[in-house]
Structure 1
Amino acid sequence: MDATAPPPLPTRGPAGSPRGGQDDAAQLQLLSVLHYVMAGFTALFSLFPVIYLVLGIAVLSGAMPVDSSTASSPGEVQLMGWVFTGLGTVFFLAMLATAGLVGYAGRCLAREQRHTLCMVAAGVCCMFMPLGTILGVFTLVTLTRTSVRQRFAHGAALPPSTH
């Protein structure tokens, strides 16, 4: 080797190198935990539509008196109660289903399974601004890397847990 030659530049290892594999595994574990946290926040915020559900039930049962001067007929009061009850129920169930999807995607990320489901859940996370958008984008960027796709394709799963 020539003493005047510069040292060789460090090369980035191939996608299957142990260093890249450790980085991918660590990032997938972190994304998994963050998906669990996002699922918890989504489940917590799913309680807000319950307010509309309770108001609708109160109007329908007569427990909440409605001013007769603002409603032209009792049918309008009933319709308002049904609309509040229906929308509250739909939004509550939709948010709970979303929380379940994001939580399950967190589990799949940890086990390196169901790549497409994880991509869909990352896209769904993007709707919840600003934290969900950040999480969704980082998840999508991570999942589109070739080395991560290979991990999912080969089923490189964690060893069975003891808990």
Structure 2
Amino acid sequence: MNPPPVPSATPPHMHHVPTRDRDVEHLKTLALFHFIVAGIAAVGLAVTATHYVIMKSILGSRVQMVTSPSGEELAIVTPMPPLMKWAYVFAIALLIAGITLNGLSGWFLLKGRHRGFSLTTAAFNCVQFPIGTILGVFTFIVLNRPTVRLKYYAANAPHLPLA
């Protein structure tokens, strides 16, 4: 009688997947999710800009009637508070940065270029809890694999011999 087979630690669907193919698939998946996060930031930009326009119309159209010392009635329009304007400017700048960084990082991941840029974008994404954090952590994991690092090295320095 033969003993029962020992189960493998590798899932059955992964037995015949070479490391290079797995790395390429993971890089494509990361690129797709970077594009998705850029799209989410674009929607956030549209919502924030719309919210700004609505708040400016509400807060900027308040008219107060004030009586001057001479007894005249004056209408004063109160503007949007400056701190509120700067909060919108800051939010919009962050969203534009998110769109730009994630869009470029997705493109670079597809092309196998600028690994450092994608790692920097991953650090930026980690601050955006929870989706950006997950994307940033997985980007760090995939881009720091030795096989992926070698792929970037070979693509970016073809004239240098591999050790």
- TM-score > 0.5 by shorter chain: yes
Contact kept, 8 Å, 2:56 with 2:80, in 1: the verdict is: no
Give the Cα separation in 2 of the matches to 1:68 and 1:21: 73
TM-superposed deviation, 1:54: 4.5
Deviation digits for residues 71-105 of structure 1, max 9, x if unmatched? Answer: xxx69x3461x333333233213211211101110
Distance 1:102 1:83 in 2: 28
Structure 1 residues 25 and 68: CA distance shift in structure 2, 3 A: farther
**What 5-or-longer segments of structure 1 have no aligned partner?**
1-8, 10-17, 157-163
The secondary structure found in structure 2 opposite 1:99 is: helix
Shift of 1:121: 0.8
How far apart, in 1, do the equivalents of 2:36 and 2:20 lie? 25
Q: Which amino acid aligns with 2:96?
A: L
Choose 1 or 2 for highest CA Rg.
Answer: 2
Residue 40 (structure 2) aligns with: 41
CA RMSD of aligned residues (A): 3.0
1:66, distance to aligned residue in structure 2 (A) = 5.0
Q: Distance in 1 between matches of 2:118 and 2:22?
A: 18
Paired with 1:87 and 1:133, the residues of 2 have a C-alpha distance of 23
What TM-score, normalized by structure 2, do the two folds share?
0.69
Partners in 2 of 1:34 and 1:134 — Cα distance? 10
Runs of at least 5 residues in structure 2 that lack an aligned partner in the other structure = 1-7, 9-16, 67-75, 157-163
Amino acid at match of 2:20: G
CA displacement at 1:127 relative to structure 2: 1.7
Structure with more of its chain in strand, by fraction: 2
- Work out the percentage of aligned pairs sharing the same amino acid: 22
> For residues 66 and 149 of structure 1, do their structure 2 counterparts lie closer, same or farther at Cα, with a shift above 3 Å needed?
farther
Specify the code of the residue in structure 2 equivalent to 1:128. Q
